[in-house]
Amino acid sequence: MSDQEIERRKSLEFLIQNNINPYPAEAYPVNVTAEEIKKNYDEQKNNYQDVSIAGRMMSRRIMGKVSFIELQDHTGKIQVYIKRDTLCPGEDKSLYNIIFKKHFDIGDIIGIKGFVFITQSGEITIHATEIKMLAKAIRPLPIVKEKDGKVFDAFTDPEQRYRQRYLDLILNPKSRDVFIKRTKIVNSMRDFLNSKGYLEVETPILQPIYGGASARPFVTHHNTLDIDLYLRIANELYLKRLIVGGLPAVYEFSKDFRNEGMDRFHNPEFTQMELYVAYKDYIWMMELVEQMVEYITVQLYGTTKVKVGENEIDFKAPWKRLTMYDAIKEFTGIDISNMNEEELRKTAKTLGIEVDETMGKGKLIDEIFGETVEPNLIQPTFIMDYPVEMSPLAKKHRSKPGLVERFEVIVNGKELANAYSELNDPIDQRKRFEEQLLLAKRGDKEAMMLDEDFLQAIEYGMPPTAGLGIGIDRLTMLLTDSHSIQDVILFPQMKPDRTVFELNELVDKLQEAGVPTEWIKVFPQIGIKSLKALKNIKPGKLHQDLCGFNKKNKLNLTNPSLEEVEKWLEGLK
């Protein structure tokens, strides 16, 4: 424990000794926010003369009989003026001199009652008449200072920001804003879909057969049924079953899981919104998508233009539409629409793209597209008509052989959404699944499984349907100008903290070896935080360290005998 933590625990004790509950149970009445005061306070009107506000103490300047603190609530910071003789009008000044000055700390959550005024240097400030501890912080907060909009000692270490998101939210208003925007984006999307009468539904996350996308799944096990289940990689096949069931339009905000690489665009769990509408096709879906995203953008910013990195992106509908072949022609000058596999492979090589013999026609086209076109599409663009090999759930194109009715939305060089005219021909669907099985046999770990139950459903007849998947994390990244997916997911996946892991391992082993719980707690405090640290320790030294710590810190534990310590160490082997 650091000196600061020890100090704070002492303060905690002091408060309790003096009948001040550091964690009171009762509600604290709040009648105003920091933002409201700063926006609406008017010296002439003399308003806000009886405010009650709560928040975290973020800084403190003690000047003898007077102090200034910054109080932060969910809307921002406001300065509070604490004057000894206002707070303690009588003889007893201990509330100010002792309680506040000695035992309140930066990071504590407190309540303030008082009246608003403007200081000599012109800052809107609450003059406190009452101050109350609402929750004592026994761990010090990282200190961030600010002057003229310039931030000093900013809390920017990405690892700490993601692992301890609560600190990020306290210390970085921008981060808080991103997550508020994320929720607004989701709410606007839901409003838009509900206004059209579409039905929000919930489908299984645990699936006996995973499907609806090409990706490797997470596997788990159900004990009672004694079967493996998969965390869904998509919910497409379930939503389509609902279309078969006669629901005309269904959607779901779906947390999906893919057991693949992680980078700034990929988190193992992520959110998609999938939508299926009966009697529509992918042309119709393009209009819906551009209208929906335009609506969301306007709801969020009041304009369709958003700054993303160096670029200004305009989401105003309609968006540009290009077929995949035309897009490649536009960016390379090469028309690949009539090429066979060999010609495609040669073309890819001349474009400097690495290819190998296992790649089929569809994969080659996809590589050429991904390499030459995708990064160059900054403004929202629909790319239409994909090769059939890449899209086992999309309907064959109404007029172009070898292609399917599919589009992707590319914005800022990245895929944002994916949609098809859904394949509803059960014979064709079975054939496509069988082709996937062949790929799987050849070793493609992402090939789709054959879902007999789904086939059965569409054999009963599924109306022609348009389907869409849109990445909520990606959309939020775009609309909040966030560099990494970790900036738009509150708790992104991280490698487990090894020190914590090792400590847990140690505690488990010590328990197994029969070490009493109260003594297990002592081990980390004498510097033994992992099994490794116990490996070469002599029983005599361990015994001394343990008993010494007990005595020094007056823990009043019964010291183990040397024999007992020897027995513990034996038990660890």
Partner RNA sequence: GGUUGGGUAGCUCAGCCGGUAGAGCAUCUGCCUUUUAAGCAGAGGGUCCCGGGUUCGAAUCCCGGCCCAAUCACCA
Residues 179-198 that bind RNA (CB under 7 A): none
- The minimum distance between CB 494 and RNA, in angstroms, equals 6
Chosen residue from 53, 58, 72, 81 binding RNA by CB under 7 A: 81
Planar angle of CA 296, 490, 496, nearest 5 degrees: 150
Per CB under 7 A, 92 contacts RNA: no
Helix (H) or strand (E) holding 455, with range, is helix 452-459
- Considering the complex, state which of residue 372 and residue 418 has its C-beta at the smaller distance from RNA: 418
Sign of the torsion angle spanned by Cα atoms 97, 103, 107, 111: negative
Chosen residue from 370, 402, 464, 548 binding RNA by CB under 7 A: 370
Identity at 511, one-letter amino acid code: Q
Identity at 212, one-letter amino acid code: G
Residue 453, CA distances (Å) to 220, 386, 449 in order:
21, 27, 11
Per CB under 7 A, 119 contacts RNA: yes
- The minimum distance between CB 469 and RNA, in angstroms, equals 10
With contacts defined by CB under 7 A, name the span among 114-122, 196-204, 451-459, 511-519 that binds RNA: 114-122
What is the C-alpha to C-alpha distance for residues 273 and 253, in angstroms, rounded to an integer?
Answer: 4
- Considering the complex, state which of residue 52 and residue 160 has its C-beta at the smaller distance from RNA: 160
Chosen residue from 298, 529, 557, 564 binding RNA by CB under 7 A: 529
Size of the site for RNA (CB under 7 A): 73
With contacts defined by CB under 7 A, name the span among 23-31, 112-120, 186-194, 238-246 that binds RNA: 112-120
- Interacting residues with RNA between 423 and 482 (CB under 7 A): 446
- Considering the complex, state which of residue 157 and residue 335 has its C-beta at the smaller distance from RNA: 157
- Considering the complex, state which of residue 168 and residue 252 has its C-beta at the smaller distance from RNA: 168
Nearby residues of 233 by Cβ (< 8 Å), 6 or more positions away: 210, 211, 212, 213, 215, 217, 256, 257, 258
Nearby residues of 441 by Cβ (< 8 Å), 6 or more positions away: none
- Interacting residues with RNA between 212 and 231 (CB under 7 A): 213-216
Give the number of other CB atoms < 10 A from CB of residue 498: 9
Per CB under 7 A, 552 contacts RNA: no
524: its two tokens: 């980390």
What is the C-alpha to C-alpha distance for residues 571 and 569, in angstroms, rounded to an integer?
Answer: 5
With contacts defined by CB under 7 A, name the span among 121-129, 325-333, 448-456, 545-553 that binds RNA: 121-129
Binding mask 261-300 for RNA (x = CB under 7 A): x-xx-x----------------------------------
Per CB under 7 A, 2 contacts RNA: yes
* Strand partners of residue 312: 307
Q: Which of 290, 302, 326, 289 is nearest to 403 (CA)?
A: 326
- Considering the complex, state which of residue 80 and residue 457 has its C-beta at the smaller distance from RNA: 80
What is the C-alpha to C-alpha distance for residues 495 and 369, in angstroms, rounded to an integer?
Answer: 33
Sign of the torsion angle spanned by Cα atoms 66, 70, 71, 75: positive
Chosen residue from 60, 132, 181, 190 binding RNA by CB under 7 A: 60
